[in-house]
Amino acid sequence: MSYVLELSHIRKSFGNELVLNDLSLSVQEHTATVLIGASGSGKSTLLRCINLLESIDDGQIFLDGVEISDPLINVDEVRRKLGMVFQSFNLFPHKTVLENITLAPIKVQLKSKEEAVDAAMTLLKRFDLADKADQYPDRLSGGQQQRVAIIRSLAINPRLLLLDEITSALDPVLVNEVLSIVRDLKSDGMTMVLATHEMGFATQVADEVCFLESGNILERGTAQEVLHNPKNLKTQDFLKRVHQAGRL
């Protein structure tokens, strides 16, 4: 069995704080892996390590069998194969929606402007944002911004999409329009790793759910197993708290 992404024995600390401790994870093609866990459990850190935005202290990361944690690897080339959408939208405020989306295709993939614009417009149309192409990001609602951010990372045709709590800055109405994009991508067969607090959504898209706690994956399995029949006491405790907060 070959995996798109393999993490083996990852260790990452910030100063004295050990954030990831001997963490291993494999992601198969066309699957969605959902990371859940309390705030500060290291979900964002894990995604940033995969994208090589953070260096790891130990362990190995493989993308399509190639070790990308090798210090000699060209990080820019690796990142071209990974799309990442951040917790806060991170659109470029000085560029229009269309320019945000076409920047990387034109400058990184060296596509012609027409080709990049065509591809971008197709994506924008598909996700109902075509009329916003020439707007600047600060004129868009939070949900629209986040959808643009997703489209921007799709425009480089990533092998793997990393989504970091893409709905946490949105109100519940906007959450749905963003999540429906992710559902669409899932049915397209996009391989994804996503961190989320939306347990209902996790249930819908996850092929595997991983519960992060003290730097490691404490429990993993299908959404049914982890979210509805957790075996680990800490998972149960976490889910109980989520449930009380009304997010299940």
Partner 1 sequence: MSERINSAWSPSSREKERAQARKRISRKQAVVAAVSSIIVIGSLLTIVVTSPGWAVVKKTFFDINYGREVFPTVISGLWINLQLTFIGGACIGVIALGLALMRTTKSPALTPFRFLATAYVDIFRGAPLILIILLVGFGVPALRLHGISSNVIFLGTVAVVLTYSAYVAEVIRSGILSIHPSQRAAARSLGLTSGQTMRYVVLPQAIRRVVPPLLNDFVSLLKDTGLVSILGVTDAVRAAQINASRTFNYTPYVVAAILFLLITIPMTRYTDRAIRQRTNAQNAEGAI
Residue numbers of the site for ligand ATP (CB under 6 A)? 14, 17, 19, 37, 39-45, 165
Q: Residue 26 gets which letter from DSSP? A: E
The listed partner (Mg ion, ligand ATP, partner 1, none) that binds 77, CB under 5 to 8 Å by sort, is partner 1
The DSSP bridge partners found for residue 98 are none
Within 8 A by CB and 6+ apart from 80, the residues are 104, 108, 109, 156, 158
Radius of gyration of the CA atoms of the chain, in A: 18
Out of 14, 55, 70, 93, the residue judged to bind partner 1 by CB under 8 A: 93
β-strand partners of 18:
13
Structure tokens given for 123: 């994506």
Q: Could you tell which of Mg ion, ligand ATP, partner 1, none binds residue 111, using a CB distance below 5 to 8 A set by kind?
A: none
Site for partner 1 in 101-120 (CB under 8 A): 103-104, 107-109
User: Which of 49, 68, 90 is CA-nearest to residue 3?
Assistant: 68
**Taking CB under 8 A as the rule, which mask of x and - marks residues 147-166 in contact with partner 1?**
-----xx--x----------
Q: Is the dihedral of CA 185, 186, 189, 194 positive or negative?
A: positive
Judged by CB under 5 A, does residue 102 bind Mg ion?
Answer: no
Find the shortest distance in angstroms from Cβ 40 to Mg ion: 8
Residue 138 interacts with partner 1 (CB under 8 A): yes or no: yes
Please say which residue, 40 or 93, places its beta carbon nearer to ligand ATP: 40
Pick between residue 47 and residue 98 the one whose CB is nearest to ligand ATP. Answer: 47
Give me the 20-59 binding string for Mg ion, x by CB under 5 A, dash otherwise: ------------------------x---------------
- Residue 161 dihedral angles phi and psi, to the nearest 5°: -110, 130
CA distances from 199 to 78, 166, 185, 235 (A): 30, 13, 18, 13
Question: Which stretches of the chain bind Mg ion, using CB under 5 A?
Answer: 44
